[in-house]
Amino acid sequence: MAEFLLNKHSRIKKGKEFPAPSGAKNVRTFRIYRWDPETGENPRMDVFRLDMDDCGPMVLDALNKIKNEIDPTLTFRRSCREGICGSCAMNIDSYNTLACLKPIADIKGDVVITPLPHCEVVKDLIPDLTHIYAQYAAIEPWLKADTQPPPNGERLQSIEERARLDGLWECILCFCCTTACPSWWWRNDRYLGPAVLQQAARWVFDSRDEYTDQRLNELNDPYRLFRCHTIMNCTGTCPKNLNPGKAIADLKIAMYDRSE
């Protein structure tokens, strides 16, 4: 059965409070999920109060400020700080998004930050993405062709063939969508999830790829692809404004087109 309750070691307790610096006029409150595997304690929500007049505009700026100036043990992934590496994906104000692209001013009330949902937590805001990476590897996300490329150049595509990949190749694999998908929550042992399926579509619809048939064979399963019930959390949450729901629908139609 699906598990609907957290076990008692995962329930979130009240955490520490860090007050705003004296004299701060523009204070925002950040409630941040903390868990350290080495202490054996339950996870807790720490409360940090920051002076917004002395902080950058994005949620990632606030996290960096906390780590640099208040609590260096706060642990999170980040790299590019401009929405292209996908590292700082986390759940902010109940939506999965990138901390570097989320303006603090867009959030009403306290800024509540937790790790991506339904993943095991490595520490604080870092989810364990091992299984998602393995699912990505399982679709063999590279060009597969038996025909050799022309000796004097690269494999050609028409402008239309190349345009078919727009909206698919831009994915940065932050997995905000996959971890927002209830079908993936309950059945990720077999269901691949929106990010991986969108990348499967990226290769299925690539005119240069010659393994379309085998790629579709691998997806022809009531769970791997068809566990998508068009809930559309994926499209709603994508910080790059892509549409994994449409990519999955296109895969289902391709599957149907070859079924009769």
- Looking at the Cβ atoms of 6 and 105, the one nearer to another protein is 6
State how far the alpha carbon of 233 is from the alpha carbons of 61, 177, 183, 237, in Å.
26, 7, 10, 6
* Of the candidates 173, 179, 185, the residue with the CA atom closest to the CA atom of residue 87: 173
- Which part of the chain contacts another protein (CB under 8 A), choosing from 51-59, 98-106, 154-162, 214-222? 214-222
| Subset of residues 150 to 209 that bind another protein, contact rule: CB under 8 A | 183, 186-187, 189-190
φ, ψ for residue 250 (rounded to 5)?
Answer: -65, -35
Closest approach, Cβ 161 to another protein, in A, equals 25
Among 49, 131, 144, 164, binds another protein (CB under 8 A): 131
Q: Does 229 bind another protein (CB under 8 A)?
A: yes
**Number of residues lying near another protein (CB under 8 A):** 30
Q: Pick the binder of another protein from 16, 79, 133, 145 (CB under 8 A).
A: 133
Task: Give the CA distances from residue 244 to residues 62, 101, 175, 213, 259, in Å, rounded to whole numbers and listed in that order.
Answer: 30, 19, 11, 21, 23
Q: Is 95 in the site for another protein (CB under 8 A)?
A: no
**Chain CA centroid to CA 162, Å:** 25
Tell me: does residue 135 bind another protein (CB under 8 A). Answer: yes
H or E segment to which residue 32 belongs? strand 27-34
Selected binder of another protein within 60, 89, 116, 225 (CB under 8 A):
225
Mark 3-42 with x for binding to another protein (rule: CB under 8 A) and - for no binding.
Answer: ----------------------------------------
CA–CA gap between residue 66 and residue 73 (Å, rounded): 9
* Chosen residue from 1, 8, 151, 152 binding another protein by CB under 8 A: 1
Nearest approach, Cβ of 223 to another protein (angstroms)? 7
Please report whether residue 137 would count as binding another protein according to CB under 8 A: yes
3-class secondary-structure state, position 184 = helix
| β-strand partners of 29 | 49
Interface with another protein, residue 138, by CB under 8 A: yes
Helices (H), 71-208: 130-138, 159-163, 182-187, 194-204
CA angle 143, 244, 259 (to 5 degrees): 70
User: Which positions lie near another protein, rule CB under 8 A?
Assistant: 1-2, 130-131, 133-135, 137-138, 183, 186-187, 189-190, 217-227, 229, 252, 255-256, 259
